[in-house]
């Protein structure tokens, strides 16, 4: 860990100047308490740095939570081992998963299926309790539950260091969460203009605790966070069914872990009750299980938090980009992607060049930087990879 200023601490050994400048700018906001913590995977983001933990007194910066509210990971350890998949053509399993779960931006379910209905009922009750109608943001939000999206979202079948098979996926609150976030970012910016608040970046516009706009944001944010969690649960249930059908044996879940990495919670740190916005970071209280994925084709990790107080009990959420998507497409080739995915069943298309492992920080470096934040319980290696274009 390196103390970059009185209000900025960094665990990132690999970081560029633009990202550092952005983090310093956010750390100078007057309500940061006690300091901003940069995770090992930190990289440039919208307003605030991705891979940062931002504790605030009496205010929240909506863009510091991010537009994919509640984005995170879920993993299930099964009773199967690598030997149960050995010698099998895994392409049919990948294709079964791709048929069961809508992939890519703007792709949703055709109808609400039986497993999703109780989760929809739960979300409808929560929305009513929180006093808003999600249809004002997305009329088809019910059909979005159980869908993956695109970008760095994925579904994987992996094996750990003991050859035990894990099911692993990454997704968030989809279009409805994006629209909720975008709305409240715009509200914060409008209020900043209205009150002549001079901001170093418009995306650092904030909402003040006690104001009606703040209260509405928190209520809708919590709904979107719960949507994201249930979205992952619904998709994981579908993956479990496909694996069961493929192997002809019901999956016996040995363990299930579900965690956010784009969210806000009220927590007590350094003697103050603060709002902790983790934008690309997971909660890592002592003993708390967590998930840190690598990039496409590399290792992922099941971890346990160490409760490091200087990090606000947080850890990285993944590898962190080194190349933008456009830069990755200019730099790398389809053949390089194929080479990186050797031995992994995946949909072989140049649509995923911008997700090539070389576009990200080396996950081994990120995990070494995080040694005082988490301990590694399991290292997962991909066998099957599913992504949306």
Interior angle at CA 33, CA 5 and CA 287, nearest 5: 100
pLDDT of res. 47: 84
pLDDT of res. 46: 87
Q: How deeply is 113 buried, as exposed, middle or buried, from its count of CB atoms within 10 A (0-12, 13-18, 19+)?
A: middle
Instruction: Give the active site residue among 317, 323, 334, 378.
Output: 317
In sequence order, which ranges of 154-286 are alpha helices (DSSP H)?
174-194, 212-247
317 catalytically annotated? yes
With b for 16 or more beta-carbon neighbours within 10 A and e for fewer, the 254-275 pattern comes to eeebbbbbbbbeeeebeeeebb
Please, what are the domains in the chain?
2-387 (3.90.1860.10)
CA distances from 204 to 137, 224, 353, 380 (A): 23, 21, 32, 37
Q: Taking Cα atoms as reference points, which of 60, 24, 62 lies closest to residue 42? A: 24
**What are φ and ψ of residue 31, in 5° steps?**
-100, 10
Token pair of 304 as six digits: 């346990």
Are 292 and 371 in contact by the 8 Å Cβ rule? The answer is no
| Max Cα distance, the chain (Å) | 66
Q: How deeply is 209 buried, as exposed, middle or buried, from its count of CB atoms within 10 A (0-12, 13-18, 19+)?
A: middle
Distance CA 78, CA 140 (A): 33
pLDDT of res. 296: 87
Token pair of 229 as six digits: 């969690």
Are 217 and 184 in contact by the 8 Å Cβ rule? The answer is yes
pLDDT of res. 297: 87
pLDDT single digits (tens) 246-259: 999 999 999 999 99
pLDDT of res. 40: 97
Cβ neighbour number for residue 335 with a 10 Å cutoff: 9
With b for 16 or more beta-carbon neighbours within 10 A and e for fewer, the 133-159 pattern comes to ebeebbeebbbbbbbbbbbbbbbbbbb
Could you tell me how far CA 263 lies from the centroid of its own chain?
9
pLDDT single digits (tens) 241-299: 999 999 999 999 999 999 999 999 999 999 999 999 999 999 999 999 999 999 888 99
Q: Tell me the whole-structure pTM to 2 decimals.
A: 0.96
In sequence order, which ranges of the chain are alpha helices (DSSP H)?
17-27, 62-65, 82-85, 91-100, 117-130, 141-144, 174-194, 212-247, 325-331, 334-340, 363-369
CA distances from 326 to 19, 283, 351 (A): 18, 31, 12
In order along its 389 residues, the chain shows pLDDT tens digits of 999 999 999 999 999 999 999 999 999 999 999 999 999 999 999 889 999 999 999 999 999 999 999 999 999 999 999 999 999 999 999 999 999 999 998 899 999 999 999 999 999 999 999 999 999 999 999 999 999 999 899 999 999 999 999 999 999 999 999 999 999 999 999 999 999 999 999 999 999 999 999 999 999 999 999 999 999 999 999 999 999 999 999 999 999 999 999 999 999 999 999 999 999 999 999 999 999 999 888 999 999 999 999 999 999 999 989 889 999 999 999 999 999 999 999 999 999 999 999 999 999 999 999 999 999 999 999 999 999 98
Distance CA 296, CA 180 (A): 29
Distance CA 178, CA 168 (A): 23
Cβ neighbour number for residue 129 with a 10 Å cutoff: 11
Q: Is the dihedral of CA 362, 257, 149, 136 positive or negative?
A: negative
């Amino acid at each position: 860990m390196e103390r970059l200023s009185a209000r900025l601490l960094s665990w990132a050994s690999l970081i560029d100047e633009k990202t550092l400048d952005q983090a310093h700018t956010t750390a100078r906001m007057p309500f940061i308490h006690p300091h901003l913590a940069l995770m090992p995977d930190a990289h440039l983001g919208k307003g605030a740095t991705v891979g940062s933990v931002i504790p605030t007194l009496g205010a929240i910066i909506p863009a510091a939570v991010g537009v994919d509210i509640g984005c995170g990971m879920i993993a299930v350890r099964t009773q199967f081992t690598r030997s149960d998949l050995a010698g099998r053509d895994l392409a049919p399993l990948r294709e079964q998963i791709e048929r069961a779960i809508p992939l890519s931006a703007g792709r949703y379910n055709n109808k609400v299926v039986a497993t999703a209905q109780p989760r929809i009922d739960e979300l409808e009750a929560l929305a009513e309790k929180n006093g808003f109608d999600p249809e004002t943001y997305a009329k088809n939000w019910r059909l979005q539950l159980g869908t993956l999206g695109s970008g760095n979202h994925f579904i994987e079948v992996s094996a750990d260091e003991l050859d035990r098979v894990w099911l692993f996926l990454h997704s968030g609150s989809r279009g409805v969460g994006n629209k909720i976030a975008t709305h409240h970012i715009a509200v914060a910016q409008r209020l900043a203009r209205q009150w002549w608040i001079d901001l170093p970046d418009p995306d650092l516009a904030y909402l003040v605790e006690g104001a009606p706009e703040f209260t509405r944001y928190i209520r809708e944010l919590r709904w979107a966070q719960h949507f994201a969690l249930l979205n992952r649960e619904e998709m994981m249930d579908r993956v479990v069914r496909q694996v069961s059908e493929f192997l002809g044996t019901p999956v016996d879940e040995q363990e299930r872990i579900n965690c956010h990495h784009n969210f806000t919670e009220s927590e007590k740190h350094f003697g103050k009750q603060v709002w902790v916005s983790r934008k690309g970071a997971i909660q890592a209280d002592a003993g708390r299980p967590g998930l840190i994925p690598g990039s496409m084709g590399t290792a992922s990790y099941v971890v346990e938090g160490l409760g490091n107080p200087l990090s606000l009990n947080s850890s990285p959420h993944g590898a962190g980009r080194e190349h933008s998507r456009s830069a990755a497409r200019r730099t790398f080739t389809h053949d390089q992607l194929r080479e990186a995915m050797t031995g992994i069943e995946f949909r072989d298309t140049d649509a995923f060049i911008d997700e090539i492992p070389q576009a990200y920080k080396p996950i081994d470096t990120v995990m070494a930087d995080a040694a005082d934040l988490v301990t590694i319980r399991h290292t997962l290696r991909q066998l099957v990879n599913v992504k949306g274009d």
